[in-house]
Structure formats: structure tokens, C-alpha cells
Amino acid sequence: MDKTNIYAFADEACPQIDGQIDALLRNGLSGLEIRGVDGTNISDITLEKAREVKNKLDAAGLSVFSVGSPIGKIGIDDDFGVHLEKFRHTLELASILGAQNMRIFSFYIDGDAASYTDKVLERMNMLAEVSRGSGVTLCHENEKGVFGDVPERCVIIHESIPEIKAVFDPANFVQCGVDTLDAYGKLKHYIKYMHIKDARPDGSIVPAGYGDGNVGEIVSDMINNGKTCFTLEPHLAVFDGLAGLEREGEKSNVGSFYFPDTNTAFDAAVTAFDKIIGRTR
């Protein structure tokens, strides 16, 4: 489907940026949701390194759609001042990289989630205030264990701070025991883009369309409503010892969704999504 824009966490193919570029090009993808750069988390690289990465991506005709940051992925009672400085630095990186979006989280909580509502919203309001005027849209991901890991609490965030949009991750909802179609119905008007990741009720991650995430139905509805940006986040299992079990010219079978290396797993994730959207290349 030509009108879709497909990006990826290509650090799952290779930790080095050159290998990520190779993975994106051979799969005909538009660019990155950038998370790991040469073995370093995106929020920890220098401004100089970001300029180097941007030059490489420009030369390859690729872009950074979103910064897959770890912002908000700390305990609600952890030192927020230090974290806020990391956020300011990550916004500078996003500007250098030309990213329109930044993935964020809503803080890990323990116990009664409702009792943390005010503190979570206070901190997320601070993130929104710092980001104003940056040209970067903050997009909250429904990560397991954070305040917004169920749709009802995601709605609280989006209604309270309208400039924070949603990045919808169906696999995370499956892992939280949430019906993804119900979650999508509650959140569809807040969604900026979607992570293409699928899961089964036992928590295992599988290629898109092979789990209980209703990925195909949700993707179709998003496209029909003009939302055409998707990020592949494969998270597929690599069996590191597979090559050692094989003789030349033979392939070992260790299960339907185990792969001999990260590049093979990454390519399989792209192929699964191609099947869903009818993309040919």
C-alpha cells in the first residue's frame, strides 16, 4: 500500500547505525524510530554524534520519524530533576535529527494506580511545557507497568494534556490482558502512530498478524482514517545457538518464530507487515 510510511526500530537488526541503514534500505522502509546508536541509547549520545547520524541518513535518503526515547521510563518516585535534564538533551537531539515525534512513557508505579494520578500528570505536564515550541510531538506509549498501561488511564493522560498524543502498541496491551479492539476504540482519536508488534496471551511476541493484537483490523482502520505512519518493533526471538546446530546446507527447526540472527528476525517482521498491508517490493 503506497500511502503508508513504514519506519522501524532498526537497532533490532543491528546495534551499529550503518547496519541499521542497510536493514532499512533492503526492506524498502522510510526511516527510523531511533532508539539505539552504535550500542548507546539515543538519549545518551552527544550532539556531535547526532549530526554524524543525520548526515549518514541523509546520504541514504532516510529520515528519523520519531525518537524512541526512554523518557518517563523511571519510577514515579525517582529523581525527576535529573530525568528532566535528559529530556532537554533528547529534545536537542530530536531537533538535529529532524524528528517530528518523541516516544515517552508515564512512569512505573507500584500499588494503587489512582493514588499516583496527580503526580503522574504533574510530571507529564512538565514534559509538555518543556517541549512547547520545539516542533516535536510527545507520544505516550502504553508500556506494561507504567501508569498508562491500560486504556482508561491513557485517556486520563490525553484528556488532561491534549498535546500529548498516543503511540498505540497492541502487543503491550495484550501482555496487560487488555482487548486491543476495545483499547483502540477508546484511544483512536488520540493516536499519532502505531507500533507494529503482536503478542499472544502467554506474553510471547510474534510477527504481526500471528497474535491476539488484532493488528490487521486496527491498521486497516487507521489507514482508512488517514493515519498512515507505522513503526516496526519486531522483538522477535533469536536463538543464538541455532547456527551451531546446523550442518552446511541444512536448517534446524526450533519453533515457528525463532530466528538464527537479528537481521533475519527483522526481515521476517517486515514481511509479516507487508502481508497485512499488501505491500510489494
| CATH for 93 | 3.20.20.150
Residue 258: what pLDDT? 84
Residue 244: what pLDDT? 47
Contact yes or no for 223/216 (Cβ under 8 A):
no
> Considering the domain boundaries, does residue 260 fall inside one?
no
Could you tell me the pLDDT band of residue 10, with boundaries at 50, 70 and 90? very high
Residues of the chain with pLDDT > 90: what percent? 89
Output the average pLDDT for the chain.
93
Is it the case that residue 123 has pLDDT exceeding 50? Answer: yes
> Considering the domain boundaries, does residue 250 fall inside one?
no
Residues 224, 226: Cα–Cα separation, whole Å:
6
Q: Which set of grid coordinates corresponds to residue 168?
A: 498505540
φ/ψ (deg, to 5) at 166: -115, 140
pLDDT: which is higher, 249 or 105: 105
> Considering the domain boundaries, does residue 184 fall inside one?
yes
Residues of the chain with pLDDT > 70: what percent? 93
Residues 36, 68: Cα–Cα separation, whole Å:
9
φ/ψ (deg, to 5) at 198: -125, 155
3 state DSSP class of 237: strand
For the chain, the domain total comes to 1
Residue 3: what pLDDT? 78
Which residue reads 496527580 in cell numbers? 118
Contact yes or no for 30/5 (Cβ under 8 A):
yes
With a CB cutoff of 8 Å and minimum separation 6, the contacts of 17 are: 37, 38, 53, 56
Residues 99, 93: Cα–Cα separation, whole Å:
9
Residue 154: what pLDDT? 98
Could you tell me the pLDDT band of residue 2, with boundaries at 50, 70 and 90? low
Is it the case that residue 26 has pLDDT exceeding 60? Answer: yes
Is it the case that residue 251 has pLDDT exceeding 60? Answer: no
Could you tell me the pLDDT band of residue 242, with boundaries at 50, 70 and 90? very low
pTM: 0.93
Range 137-158 average pLDDT: 98
Could you tell me the pLDDT band of residue 239, with boundaries at 50, 70 and 90? low
Is it the case that residue 254 has pLDDT exceeding 70? Answer: no
Range 66-93 average pLDDT: 98
> Considering the domain boundaries, does residue 97 fall inside one?
yes
Range 106-134 average pLDDT: 97
Residues 195, 9: Cα–Cα separation, whole Å:
10
Residues 171, 204: Cα–Cα separation, whole Å:
9
* E strands, the chain, in order: 5-8, 31-34, 36-37, 40-41, 63-67, 101-104, 137-141, 165-168, 191-196, 198-199, 205-206, 229-232, 237-238, 258-259
Largest Cα–Cα distance of the chain, in whole Å?
A: 60
Q: Write the single-letter amino acid at 68.
A: G
Could you tell me the pLDDT band of residue 41, with boundaries at 50, 70 and 90? very high
In tens, the pLDDT along 50-79 reads 999 999 999 999 999 999 999 999 999 999
> Considering the domain boundaries, does residue 248 fall inside one?
no
> Considering the domain boundaries, does residue 270 fall inside one?
no
> Considering the domain boundaries, does residue 257 fall inside one?
no
Is the C-alpha dihedral spanning 213, 219, 220, 224 positive or negative? positive
Which residue reads 550532539 in cell numbers? 47
pLDDT: which is higher, 72 or 238: 72
Residue 250: what pLDDT? 42
Q: Which set of grid coordinates corresponds to residue 277?
A: 498491508
Structural domain for 31, as ranges? 5-236
> Considering the domain boundaries, does residue 30 fall inside one?
yes
Angle between helix axes 47-60 and 17-26 (nearest 10 degrees) is: 30
> What are the CA-CA distances from residue 169 to residues 49, 93, 160, 255, 275 (Å)?
29, 24, 21, 25, 19
Range 256-269 average pLDDT: 90
Could you tell me the pLDDT band of residue 147, with boundaries at 50, 70 and 90? very high
